[in-house]
C-alpha cells in the first residue's frame, strides 16, 4: 500500500526502487528539469510532472571501496551531496567512500562527463555531515562545512569551477562562531 495515498491528487511524487538517500537538489531552468543527487545516483526529473528523464548510476570504484574498510559499508557509498548548474554544465560532487570526487557533466546527457577531479573543499568527507552551498551567476561556488572528523574546524570555501580555491582562515571562522553563539 502506498503511504502517500492521502495526498492531494494534484500532487506528483517521485520514487525509484534504486534511488535513495536524497542529498542535494538543483534546477535546470532552461531544460525544465530538476537534478537530484542521491546515494550512488544522479537523477534528472521533469519539472512539470516529476517523471524520470534520466538516471545515472555513479558508484564508488572498487579500489576505493577496498580502502574504506574502517567505515560502515553504507557510508562507503557515493553520496552525491552537491549538484549545481552553470551554463550548460552540471557540477556534481560525491563523497566517494570518504574520498570526495567532483565531475562536470553535460546537462543534456548526464552520462557524458567532461572530466573528474578530486574534491578540494566543496563537500565534507563524511557523507552524513551537513553543509551548505550556493553558486552565483558569475560561476563562483561558495560552500561551508566542517573539514575535520571531530567537527571542530568549520570552513567557508570560494571556488570558480575547477580553478583555485579560496579558504577562510580558521581564526576568522572561530571568531565568527564566538560572535554568533555569544
**Residue 175, pLDDT score:** 47
Distance CA 117, CA 104 (A): 9
**Residue 1, pLDDT score:** 43
**Residue 34, pLDDT score:** 95
**Pairing state of beta strands 140-146 and 132-135?**
antiparallel
Q: What are the grid coordinates assigned to 120, written together?
A: 578540494
The residues, any chain, with a CB within 8 Å of residue 148's CB and separated by 6 or more, are: none
Helices (H), 52-168: 62-67
**Residue 43, pLDDT score:** 95
Domain 24-181 class? mainly beta
In this prediction, the residues of the chain whose per-residue pLDDT falls under 50 are 1, 174-182
Q: What b/e sequence results for 141-179 when a residue is b if at least 16 CB atoms lie within 10 Å of its CB, and e otherwise?
A: bebebbbeeeeeebbbbebebeeeeeeeeeeebeeeeee
**Residue 73, pLDDT score:** 80
- The single residue listed with the C-alpha cell 557533466 is 105
Distance CA 2, CA 38 (A): 22
Q: What residue spans define the domains of the chain?
A: 24-181
**Residue 116, pLDDT score:** 77
**Residue 80, pLDDT score:** 95
Report CA torsion sign: 153, 158, 161, 162: negative
Amino acid at each position: 500500500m502506498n503511504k502517500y495515498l492521502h495526498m492531494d491528487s494534484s500532487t506528483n511524487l517521485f520514487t525509484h526502487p534504486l534511488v535513495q538517500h536524497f542529498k542535494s537538489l538543483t534546477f535546470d531552468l532552461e531544460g525544465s528539469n530538476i537534478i537530484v543527487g542521491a546515494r550512488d545516483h544522479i537523477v534528472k526529473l521533469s519539472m512539470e510532472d516529476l517523471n524520470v528523464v534520466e538516471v545515472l548510476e555513479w558508484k564508488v570504484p572498487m579500489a576505493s571501496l577496498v580502502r574504506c574498510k574502517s567505515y560502515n559499508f553504507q557510508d562507503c557509498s557515493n553520496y552525491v551531496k552537491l549538484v549545481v548548474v552553470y551554463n550548460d554544465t552540471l557540477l556534481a560532487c560525491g563523497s566517494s567512500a570518504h574520498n570526495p570526487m567532483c565531475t562536470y557533466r553535460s546537462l543534456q546527457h548526464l552520462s557524458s562527463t567532461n572530466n573528474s577531479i578530486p574534491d578540494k573543499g566543496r563537500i565534507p568527507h563524511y557523507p552524513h555531515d551537513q553543509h551548505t552551498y550556493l553558486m552565483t551567476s558569475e560561476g563562483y561556488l561558495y560552500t561551508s562545512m566542517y573539514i575535520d572528523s571531530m567537527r571542530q574546524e568549520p570552513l567557508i570555501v570560494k571556488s570558480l569551477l575547477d580553478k583555485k580555491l579560496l579558504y577562510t582562515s580558521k581564526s576568522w571562522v572561530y571568531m565568527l562562531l564566538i560572535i554568533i553563539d555569544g
